[in-house]
Structure 1
């Protein structure tokens, strides 16, 4: 199976997620308005490549359906988008990605220091935004959750940039992928769970689901790295970053035999003849398995989580057809 670049449809969320989305976008935009000339320019460049606001929609829908204060879930939606944006800026530096959403990345356009400073500012702004919530105990809950989530993301990224991608095994790849992506999928919903004082099986189930979805998300992203969907094609291969496709392919070889694949030309040639059908099937199975625990979530939230899985399944289906 040969893979090629494809497009995606819009991510669907329930009406509750759309009601306050314009407010979230406005507050997010206001967070990018700063006085410093250089930082302002970097933030403007990053902000012009608008995403789908998926994390904001997840926070808005969950908070609304759980009956929380609109102020809390609107601010939390902004926080989730800010921290996601910060992670993208830093991730682009670590992965040496040249493009983000069809535009040059901040580090490529303005330099690595600019991207680091811009990401750091957005992290600081996300914590500040939580302090604007009038319910003090919601502030405490969300500050603690955001702090632990950022630590998990940094841990995953630090391992990602330190491993030997040729010798990395599948078990350790999964740990890295889950740490890098799971928290950002879980964060919008978990924040609202905590504010609703859910602290039992609902949270455990959400964590289990998010870890599987996070792994699947990273796996799909690794496929898109091969086809160059919104990024430099084969950059993981060029820069030696962990990639699920490469790791799965190298599993058939002993550690000694893998050494020959340090030659990029040899690895590229071997992968050009690789059939990706099994990879597609494995991702589909993982996405299906991620829903095993969905019945343990509050009924009103189940459709939101299922929709995340369906959107990812759509992406996989389009790769399979192409």
Structure 2
């Protein structure tokens, strides 16, 4: 990667520089999150708090705050917008876990396994509503447009993924289209809105959008690779969840394309739900490893990571830029 990243060689990349960079701002964001989670209906803050306090790094709102630092913004509108970003993310997680039937999220039981699917969906709707309140209060129509559009794109991506589920013939370009929508869109919007509230030129908006979008794609590619390389303790979800849910992630798409007739038959049975035992998952791991599909997925993640770093090259050197570069390295290094 870039020379800036190369100087980090030999050290494990971390989010710590970004965490320290935005620590003071994050206190205000957390206050906004707590204030907007309140409700006279006790189940709402209880269920929402279960996920929001569940150990997530809050990377997306931190990206809003770090991007604001990068463009030299000294106001306070980004605090509420960063909270809105976190609410959008949390709402989508609540809905995703219902759709996927997931049992673990960040190493804890998912909300839907504790309170049931209807409560999870409705509290997700509540958080979406709170996020729009925060957007409106920012007073920036453009920020509202960017985040509301991202919310719609995320929903489209989830529907696209749902219609592609258990389709062994899923093309790689459609897969990238899905993750660009369901994951990368919010990363891009989270970064872009900082330039909007700072009233920076369009070129800086576009650069931050590109940084966030490429980081989001890299982040999702690594997540997909981890499903075939890690365990539940490391992942915060059950190992093999993607496999058992019949998801055609990039490692599977590549392994299927590179397989012989017997291997393709295995993948077809697995994706369509006829091969989902522990032994089948072990075989799947062997196939993605022997076909170099995980290694190539990670290579592509590094490519998108470099694209993210290149996008912010025009910005001046400093703590914010260094932290954002290392955040990319952290995103990719999670698989190792």
TM-score by length of 2: 0.81
Instruction: Indicate yes or no: 2:210 matched with 1:208.
Output: yes
Instruction: Indicate yes or no: 2:269 matched with 1:250.
Output: no
- CA separation of 1:210/1:132 partners in 2, compared to 1, >3 Å: closer, same or farther? closer
Instruction: Indicate yes or no: 2:118 matched with 1:113.
Output: yes
Number of residues of Structure 1 aligned to a counterpart in Structure 2: 307
5+ residue gaps, structure 1: 1-6
* Equivalent-residue separation in structure 1 for 2:157 and 2:98 (angstroms): 15
* Equivalent-residue separation in structure 2 for 1:44 and 1:196 (angstroms): 31
* Equivalent-residue separation in structure 2 for 1:176 and 1:90 (angstroms): 16
* Equivalent-residue separation in structure 2 for 1:198 and 1:314 (angstroms): 32
Moved more, 60-69 or 46-55: 60-69
Instruction: Indicate yes or no: 2:144 matched with 1:143.
Output: yes
> Shift of the alpha carbon at 1:114?
1.1
- CA separation of 1:23/1:296 partners in 2, compared to 1, >3 Å: closer, same or farther? same
- CA separation of 1:18/1:246 partners in 2, compared to 1, >3 Å: closer, same or farther? same
5+ residue gaps, structure 2: 1-11
Aligned ranges for residues 151-300 of structure 1 at < 5 Å?
151-163=152-164, 164-198=166-200, 200-226=202-228, 227=230, 228=232, 229-253=235-259, 258-264=264-270, 265=275, 268=281, 269-275=283-289, 276-297=294-315
Aligned with residue 58 of structure 2, among 34, 50, 53: 53
- CA separation of 1:130/1:279 partners in 2, compared to 1, >3 Å: closer, same or farther? closer
Moved more, 16-25 or 231-240: 16-25
Partner of 2:135 in structure 1? 130
* Aligned partner of residue 222 in structure 1, secondary structure: helix
* Equivalent-residue separation in structure 2 for 1:15 and 1:47 (angstroms): 20
> Shift of the alpha carbon at 1:297?
4.7
Q: RMSD across aligned C-alpha pairs, in angstroms?
A: 2.7
> Shift of the alpha carbon at 1:47?
3.1
Provide, for residues 202-259 of structure 1, a one-character-per-residue CA deviation record: whole Å limited to 9, x for no partner.
3333333333322211111112333331011111111112322111211224899845
Provide, for residues 49-93 of structure 1, a one-character-per-residue CA deviation record: whole Å limited to 9, x for no partner.
132122222222332443435320111121111111112111222
* Equivalent-residue separation in structure 1 for 2:214 and 2:149 (angstroms): 19
- CA separation of 1:100/1:295 partners in 2, compared to 1, >3 Å: closer, same or farther? same
- Partners of 1:64 and 1:73 within 8 A in 2: no
Moved more, 164-173 or 267-276: 267-276
- Partners of 2:222 and 2:332 within 8 A in 1: no
Moved more, 165-174 or 153-162: 165-174
- Partners of 2:88 and 2:131 within 8 A in 1: yes
* Equivalent-residue separation in structure 1 for 2:153 and 2:250 (angstroms): 20
- Partners of 1:149 and 1:187 within 8 A in 2: yes
- CA separation of 1:293/1:64 partners in 2, compared to 1, >3 Å: closer, same or farther? closer
